[in-house]
Amino acid sequence: MRERLLTTCEREFIHNVMKEGGEDGELVRLDGRGKSEMRRVLVTLGRQQYGQATASIGNTQAICRVSCSIVRPHEDRPTKGFVRYGVTLSPMASPDYDAGGRPSAASIYLTRLLEHIFREARALDDESLCIVAGEKVWAVSVNVTVTNDDGNMEDACALAALAGLMHFRRPYVSIAGQDVVVHPFDEHEPVSLAINHRPLNVTTALFDNGDLALVDPTKIELKVADGSISVAMNTHGEICGINSSEGLAVDPEQMEAIVAATKHRVTHLFTALNKAFPKE
Amino acid sequence: MDTTADDAGATAPDATTTTTTTTTTTTIVERPGMRIVCPGDVITEDQGYMRGHGTFIHDGRLLASVAGVVERVNKVISVRPVRTRYVGEIGDVVVGRIMQVGQRRWLVDTQSRLSSVLKLSSVNLPGGVLRRKSASDELTMRQVLAEGDLISAEVQAIFQEDGTLSLHTRSLRYGRLGPGMFMRVPSVLVRRSKNHFHTLPCGVAVVLGNNGYIWIGASMEEDTTQAREHDQHIITEETRRRMARVRNAISALAHRMLSIFDTTIIFTYDDSAHLEEKEMLHPEAIATITQRAYLLCTDQL
Amino acid sequence: MPEYISVEGLREDGRRANELRRVEANVGMFPHADGSAYFQQGDTKVVAIVNGPKQGVGKAGDAGKVVCDFEMAAFSTTQRRKPLRLDRKNAELGSKIASTFESAIMTDLYPRSQIEISVQVLQADGGVLAVAINAVTLALMDAGVAMTDFVCACTASVIDGTNVLDINHYEASAQGPELTIAVLPSSSTIVMAEMKSRVHGDLYAGLQDLAIVGGTTLLPLLKKAVHDRTRAMLPCLGPAA
């Protein structure tokens, strides 16, 4: 389906609304937020199944399902398990997305974003997924589906994925001689994944060559924006990934400011995440 | 052409580079008076100039947007890139290939960014004006010009919204080209001149399109509306040999990236007399036969 | 415990922390393409080919589109890679390169057109995205595509507590952060930023500065390659008269 076109008057209105505001967050966006405000963030965990989590940021919603299976490891990496990430954009999310067919550029971008944040920053411990070196390892599959796209799918997907991973439990495995016994959940308490650190993503959209930066853009704001930057950060204040989108053109000072501000902004997301895990 | 940077002047305060120098394999002749610029270079800070192709204005200064040579015509400053897709100007002579027959127009391939358009109203129809009304459906249009036909035409107009060229063949010398050879060279090698239709001293006819498409034929058409009848003429072996020699001469010039016009073609043709046509394309031969053309193009003649 | 920086401050290949690798550039080796370039930094070797602007899809009002196809040759890495039909990493890099140049190419001049970039990595020894961007800049200029400035890219990392510039594959395996920044050198405007792995937030500013310096240092080298190529091509414009 064709994308809904943004009319010129809408574009101008959004632009002017952002310009007319004052210097420090007095400016009012279409939904009443200031420049640095995020929308309401909500994380809910599945009750029937471990590893299921739903994250919503405003109207943007992503659902994560984590599952696992036992496979042979790579020959050169006999003690490391696998974690595979995949993001699909459901046609529910927006008329822009078609079902099936080749993965679109947007879904590839989001999948790679998760791989950047989690795999390349080593959030999960591969070696803890080893069962029998050289023969059997766990392969964990993290599947995120975006069910509603109102902008900032990046942060919603990362939040859903992390919540899913934290919530997930794999079966307990015992080794009796040559045999590997996988214990069902009612026989033995399942085991949670070894997570080294917890990264979450904050996306900022840029306008007017970087002069104006809005955190957590909605879909319509993204249409007017020049480009956006996603910065991932964990609870230790470490940056776990930076990805820029098309049309970016920003001064180095502005870029540094956005990265520095992530520390403050990501706490909003962690607060929502922690609410879903009361015991931790 | 190899370039390795040398380390003089390539260091910034906080970073250093280590590079090596090697000698270049092509001798570069200085062309005083030709100023080379790269994208982002400041051409002038003077406000009195108008900007032409290949430039843009930033902070009140005129900057280059392509790599090429600065040209000034009266008050207009432009940058001519040494390599680019054909950008048409009104009055250019082009050779084009009919790609598609459409509603009252043909789509023509001219090696430019977008396909060019030849409107039915811009064509001389055989039999004169009276046939116009019945010619407007596709079948009759195909009898005039069909897919695959080669034409010579002039650029009449440029569509403002996207730069598509609108062609016309309203003179007897333009129109369908008969049997002959077709060549494609970079468009920048064919510069604008008063005449694009040449009958060379050896008797072979060439049409040099500004867009880099070239037609080589046995003889120049007098009235191109009769062209289909002329298709039946038999071309002798001697003429074919001459056409092949002309073709290889142009190919040699293109290989060496030299401007292609009647003088350079004639120089190369004459200087190849001692070789057989097929020997002209050997790398050593190309250098020899194009030497006079090279000297001419670098102002050394 | 592998040593990345010696006590004298020399890296594995003899460079100092803020030194770029040896650069080699070759513009226009594929005359049948609209534009082409080969760029090498150290042992990372990339070929870029540009075709266009040419007919694309879209309405008359649309600005030109930039698309990039990114491929790594099977022999480019230490272990032979089987080329997959849909390689997500390649798709992502192609997309990032196309995005980078959307900011520099004057796409408004090419309505209804498409600029097709093709990148082929011949040898991968770290900093592949940065070297590819530099190669594409040269290829676009060879094709006569209008741009507001050069686009220069460079990587920076932190190894053993020191900020280092232009890392190779060995240094990337130290699992420190790998920041790739592409800038428009005249204004230091950042047009692409990618960072892999982890670094403490306080250290980011220093890394960014170093990467930008690396990019602006590359500018004269890229400029010379384009300048030389243009000079060599001057006979094609014919006699001055």
How far apart, in whole angstroms, are the C-alpha atoms of residue C104 and residue A161?
35
Instruction: Specify which residues A172 forms β-bridges with.
Output: A183
Are B213 and B111 in contact by the 8 Å Cβ rule? The answer is: yes
pLDDT tens figures, B128-152: 554 555 556 667 888 888 899 999 9
Q: Is C190 on the interface with A (CB under 8 A)?
A: yes
CATH of C23-226, one of 3.40.50.300, 3.40.50.2000, 3.40.5.50, 3.30.230.70: 3.30.230.70
| DSSP code of residue A218 | -
Are A146 and A109 in contact by the 8 Å Cβ rule? The answer is: no
Residues of chain B with CATH 2.40.50.100: 36-81
Dihedral of CA atoms B226, B227, B229, B234 in degrees, nearest 10, equals: 140
Minimal-distance CA residue of chain C relative to A197: C198
pLDDT tens figures, B14-69: 444 444 333 333 455 556 678 999 999 999 888 888 888 999 998 889 999 999 99
Q: Which of A233, A238, A256 sits opposite C208 (nearest CB)?
A: A256
Count the neighbouring beta carbons within 10 Å of the beta carbon of residue A2. 6
The pLDDT of residue A18 is above 80: no
Residues of C in contact with A233 (CB under 8 A): 201
Q: How confident is the model at residue A161 (pLDDT cuts 50, 70, 90)?
A: very high
The pLDDT of residue C151 is above 90: yes
Are B59 and B72 in contact by the 8 Å Cβ rule? The answer is: no
Count the neighbouring beta carbons within 10 Å of the beta carbon of residue B153. 26
The pLDDT of residue B232 is above 70: no
How far apart, in whole angstroms, are the C-alpha atoms of residue C61 and residue C52?
18
In angstroms, the separation between the Cα of residue A180 and the nearest Cα of chain C is 33
Minimal-distance CA residue of chain A relative to C100: A246
Q: Any idea which residue has 């120098």 for tokens?
A: B21
Where along chain C do its domains lie?
23-226
Residues of A in contact with C209 (CB under 8 A): 252
Are B153 and B123 in contact by the 8 Å Cβ rule? The answer is: no
Q: Which of C35, C113, C214 sits opposite B113 (nearest CB)?
A: C113
Question: Which of the residues B65, B160, B164, B255 would you substitute to probe the C interface, choosing the one with the greatest number of C C-beta atoms within 10 Å?
Answer: B65
Provide the CATH number for the domain around residue A40: 3.30.230.70
Diameter over CA atoms, chain B: 78
Instruction: Specify which residues B117 forms β-bridges with.
Output: B107, B166
In angstroms, the separation between the Cα of residue C136 and the nearest Cα of chain B is 14
Query: Could you tell me the residue range of the domain that residue A86 belongs to?
Result: 15-276
The pLDDT of residue B173 is above 50: yes
The pLDDT of residue A25 is above 60: no
Per DSSP bridges, beta strands A82-89 and A136-148 are: parallel
At residue A274, the 3 state secondary structure works out as helix
- Type of residue numbered C74: A
How far apart, in whole angstroms, are the C-alpha atoms of residue B177 and residue B184?
15
Answer yes or no: is A4 within a domain.
no
C26's tokens: 């070759």
Instruction: Specify which residues C67 forms β-bridges with.
Output: C116
Are C167 and B21 in contact by the 8 Å Cβ rule? The answer is: no
How far apart, in whole angstroms, are the C-alpha atoms of residue B74 and residue B176?
37
Residue B9 CA, chain-centre distance (Å), reads 38
Are A252 and C212 in contact by the 8 Å Cβ rule? The answer is: yes
Q: What is the pLDDT of residue A160?
A: 96
What's the first-to-final CA gap in chain A, in angstroms?
44
Count CB pairs under 8 A between chains B and C. Answer: 203
**What's the whole-number mean pLDDT along residues B95-100?**
94
Residues of A in contact with C92 (CB under 8 A): 108-109, 112
A116–C103: do the CB atoms touch at under 8 Å?
no
pLDDT tens figures, A207-250: 887 788 899 999 988 888 888 999 999 999 999 999 998 888 89
- Type of residue numbered C79: Q
pLDDT tens figures, A32-83: 888 888 999 999 998 888 889 999 999 999 999 999 999 999 888 899 999 9
In angstroms, the separation between the Cα of residue B87 and the nearest Cα of chain C is 11
Q: Which of A102, A108, A197 sits opposite C92 (nearest CB)?
A: A108
Residues of B in contact with C53 (CB under 8 A): 85, 113
Are B232 and B226 in contact by the 8 Å Cβ rule? The answer is: no
Q: Which of C149, C232, C239 sits opposite B40 (nearest CB)?
A: C149
At residue A206, the 3 state secondary structure works out as strand
A248–C99: do the CB atoms touch at under 8 Å?
yes
Instruction: Specify which residues B198 forms β-bridges with.
Output: B206
Which partners does chain B have (≥3 C-beta pairs < 8 Å)? C
In angstroms, the separation between the Cα of residue C75 and the nearest Cα of chain B is 24
What's the first-to-final CA gap in chain B, in angstroms?
25
C-alpha distances (whole Å) from A101 to each of A89, A98, C20, C141 are 12, 8, 43, 36
The pLDDT of residue B73 is above 90: no
Are A121 and A196 in contact by the 8 Å Cβ rule? The answer is: no
Are A117 and A199 in contact by the 8 Å Cβ rule? The answer is: yes
Which stretch, A18-32, B232-246, C5-19, C207-221, has highest mean pLDDT? C207-221
Residues of C in contact with B261 (CB under 8 A): 238
Which of C187, C62, C152, C149 has its CA nearest to residue C113? C62
10 Å CB burial of residue A21 (0-12, 13-18, 19+) is: middle
CATH architecture of B36-81: Beta Barrel (2.40)
Which of C181, C132, C189, C135 has its CA nearest to residue C154? C181
Mean pLDDT of chain B: 82
Mean pLDDT of chain C: 91
How far apart, in whole angstroms, are the C-alpha atoms of residue A263 and residue C202?
10
| DSSP code of residue B129 | G
C193–A229: do the CB atoms touch at under 8 Å?
yes
The secondary structure of A148-205 as a DSSP string is: E-SS-HHHHHHHHHHHHHHH-EE-EEEEETTEEEEEPTTTS--EE--BS--EEEEEEE
Name, in order, each residue with C-beta under 8 angstroms of A113's C-beta and a sequence gap of 6 or more: A154, A157, A158, A201, A230, A241, A243
Answer yes or no: is A7 within a domain.
no
Q: Is C89 on the interface with A (CB under 8 A)?
A: yes
Q: What is the pLDDT of residue A233?
A: 95
CA atoms within 13 A on the CB side of A178: 0
Q: Which of residues 140-159 of B touch C (CB under 8 A)?
A: none
How far apart, in whole angstroms, are the C-alpha atoms of residue B281 and residue B161?
43
Q: What is the pLDDT of residue C61?
A: 63
More confident residue, B204 or B130: B204
Q: What is the pLDDT of residue B134?
A: 58
CATH of B18-28+87-297, one of 3.40.50.970, 2.40.50.140, 1.10.1740.10, 3.30.160.270: 2.40.50.140
Helix or strand (DSSP H, E) at C220: helix C204-233
Residues of C in contact with A250 (CB under 8 A): 189-190
More confident residue, C225 or C173: C225
Name, in order, each residue with C-beta under 8 angstroms of A87's C-beta and a sequence gap of 6 or more: A107, A110, A111, A114, A143, A144, A145, A146, A157
More confident residue, B97 or C85: B97
At residue B286, the 3 state secondary structure works out as helix
How far apart, in whole angstroms, are the C-alpha atoms of residue B39 and residue C74?
35
Residues of C in contact with B297 (CB under 8 A): 235-239
**What's the whole-number mean pLDDT along residues C122-150?**
96
In angstroms, the separation between the Cα of residue A248 and the nearest Cα of chain C is 5
Are A133 and A72 in contact by the 8 Å Cβ rule? The answer is: no
Question: Which strands make up the sheet holding C44-55, listed edge to edge?
Answer: B2-3, C23-27, C35-41, C44-55, C113-123, C65-72
Residues of C in contact with B83 (CB under 8 A): 28, 34-35, 142-144, 233
Residues of chain B with CATH 2.40.50.140: 18-28+87-297
| DSSP code of residue C82 | P
Answer yes or no: is A241 within a domain.
yes
Considering chain C, what percentage of its residues have pLDDT values greater than 90?
A: 67
Q: What is the pLDDT of residue B9?
A: 33
In angstroms, the separation between the Cα of residue A80 and the nearest Cα of chain C is 17
Q: How confident is the model at residue A106 (pLDDT cuts 50, 70, 90)?
A: confident
10 Å CB burial of residue A71 (0-12, 13-18, 19+) is: middle
Q: Which of B5, B10, B258 sits opposite C235 (nearest CB)?
A: B258
How far apart, in whole angstroms, are the C-alpha atoms of residue A241 and residue A260?
13
What's the first-to-final CA gap in chain C, in angstroms?
68
Which of C103, C55, C106 has its CA nearest to residue B162? C55
| Overall number of domains in chain A | 1
Residues of A in contact with C102 (CB under 8 A): 246-247
**What's the whole-number mean pLDDT along residues A186-211?**
89
pLDDT tens figures, C88-119: 889 999 999 999 999 899 998 998 899 999 99
Q: Is C97 on the interface with A (CB under 8 A)?
A: no
Q: What is the pLDDT of residue A252?
A: 93
At residue A120, the 3 state secondary structure works out as helix
Minimal-distance CA residue of chain A relative to C102: A247
Dihedral of CA atoms B228, B230, B231, B232 in degrees, nearest 10, equals: 120
In angstroms, the separation between the Cα of residue B106 and the nearest Cα of chain C is 16
